[in-house]
Structure 1
Amino acid sequence: MGFSQEIITEIDNIWQANLKHPFVQEIGAGTLPVKKFKYYMVQDYVYLMDYAKVFALGALKSPDLKTMIQFSNTLQSILTEEMSLHRQYAAQFNISEETLASAEPAPTTLAYKNYLLSVAQTGGQAELLAVLLPCMWGYETIGKNLAHSPGAKNVLYGEWIAMYSSPDFSALTEWLIQEFDRITAQQTLTQRVRLINIFKNSLRYEVLFWEMAYQEEKWLV
């Protein structure tokens, strides 16, 4: 069992909360109110702009050309495929690309993306992978779980599910898991505890992100 799976087993309650959040379940059922998805789509785009930067940092911190290329390929996929789907949704909602790119982050979005960047900038490659992995792994698992759900045939949510259940997205996720397991194989107990906490916090933010979108979170003042 790789270290990644050990972490998932240890924090299974948070992992299940991520997979089974009402926002996710209602996408699968095709019943999520459109206004909640619209809110999510805008905030996720804001998040992805900084999430992509973490992959750029991954390329910068890569120890060899092969790893650098893989981080660069994943960065390209986020910018040209994942974010492109968000721009397509924005067009359906009559939101211009300029408005989408300049949207103000909600409190949870701001906190999450700042956490990602802080860990990625100050930590090594292991820390960077630990903070990245919950997002990609969670979305890939959700995509597969919903691939044959009623939502997969929904005119609005079908494309979203197709993106995250695709073989290409699964391949990127599998590489990230394998790379994390490879470089953490010789970690000390102290280092492993730190990585578990980073992974756990990032996964908690994933749950909070669903909740933020479900509640259409606003700044209080």
Structure 2
Amino acid sequence: MRPSEQLRTANIDDWQAATNHPFCLELASGTLPLEKMRTYLAQDYTFIDNFIRLASSAIHHAPTLPDRLPLAAFLGIIAGPENTYFQRSFEAINVSDVDRTNPELLAPTRDFQALMLKAAKSGQYANMVAVLCVAEWVYLSWADQVEYDSETLPFYFQEWVTLHKGEYFESVVEHLRGQLDRAYEVADEAGKVEIGDYFQQAVTLERQFFDGCYNS
């Protein structure tokens, strides 16, 4: 079994709760109340800055150019189409100016921000890819299994699903899994424990983040 799969299996309860969350299922069906979507978008948009910091640090610490390039290319998606998606969605569902720029953060949002910065500052590539892998793999897992009507679903629901599925996004997740697999395999026992801890915290916080946005 691949190390990334071992880590996922070790956190399977929180993983399944996150990837089968009512928030995700209602978003894909178009039944998610807009107030919950406003909260989610405002909270999730705050991750972009620290995600870019974390990904940039991972690119810097990656062993080789071939290891760096896929994540560098993915940053262009985050800074381009994904950032634009947020701006268009803010307008479409009337997210307030304050929530667009300085929302009151939910506890899981604050904790995930702290985890991303901790991983980035750790100087350990394995810790960085553990958090990045969870962040993207969880989204692929829920988006890949939902059914939705692309013709009738509003773009702020439909595009959020399509941004997180398909051949390109699958390749991003596979790259991150491969990087995590190799980093875990060469780590000593203390390093394996540390990687597992970062992975576990990220999975738990993904679940808590969906819970917080859904129950807000």
> Does residue 128 of the first structure (1) align with residue 128 of the second (2)?
yes
Uncovered stretches (5+) of structure 1, i.e. residues with no partner = 217-221
In structure 2, distance between residues paired with 1:152 and 1:2: 38
> Does residue 11 of the first structure (1) align with residue 14 of the second (2)?
no
Q: Which residue of 2 aligns with 1:70?
A: 70
Secondary structure, aligned partner of 1:32: coil
Uncovered stretches (5+) of structure 2, i.e. residues with no partner = none
Paired residues for 1:61-210 under 5 Å: 61-95=61-95, 100-146=100-146, 148-149=147-148, 153-155=152-154, 156-210=156-210
| Equivalent pairs, count | 215
CA shift, 1:210, in A, is 0.4
Q: Which residue of 1 aligns with 2:214?
A: 214
Over 3 Å off, 4+ runs: 94-99, 101-104, 149-153
CA shift, 1:172, in A, is 1.0
TM-score (ref. length: structure 2)? 0.90
Letter in 2 for 1:127: N
Relative contact order (C-alpha < 8 Å, sep 6+): which is higher?
Answer: 2
**Residues 41 and 86 in structure 1, CA contact (< 8 A), matched pair in contact too:** yes
In structure 2, distance between residues paired with 1:195 and 1:32: 35
**Residues 14 and 203 in structure 2, CA contact (< 8 A), matched pair in contact too:** yes
Q: Which residue of 2 aligns with 1:54?
A: 54
CA-to-partner distance for each residue in 1:49-96, whole Å, 9 max, x for gaps? Answer: 211210011122122222232332122221112222111101212447
> Does residue 32 of the first structure (1) align with residue 32 of the second (2)?
yes
Letter in 1 for 2:112: Y
CA-to-partner distance for each residue in 1:164-199, whole Å, 9 max, x for gaps? Answer: 113221111111111111222222333212211110
Letter in 2 for 1:74: F
**Residues 28 and 151 in structure 1, CA contact (< 8 A), matched pair in contact too:** no
In structure 2, distance between residues paired with 1:183 and 1:106: 32
In structure 2, distance between residues paired with 1:125 and 1:103: 31
In structure 1, distance between residues paired with 2:82 and 2:111: 21
CA-to-partner distance for each residue in 1:140-171, whole Å, 9 max, x for gaps? Answer: 1111011x345885224112111111322111
Letter in 2 for 1:195: I
CA shift, 1:114, in A, is 1.3
CA-to-partner distance for each residue in 1:39-58, whole Å, 9 max, x for gaps? Answer: 10111001122112100111
What is the percent sequence identity of the aligned residues? Answer: 23
In structure 1, distance between residues paired with 2:148 and 2:191: 40
Relative to structure 1, is the Cα distance of residues 201 and 99 closer, same or farther in structure 2, using a 3 angstrom cutoff? closer
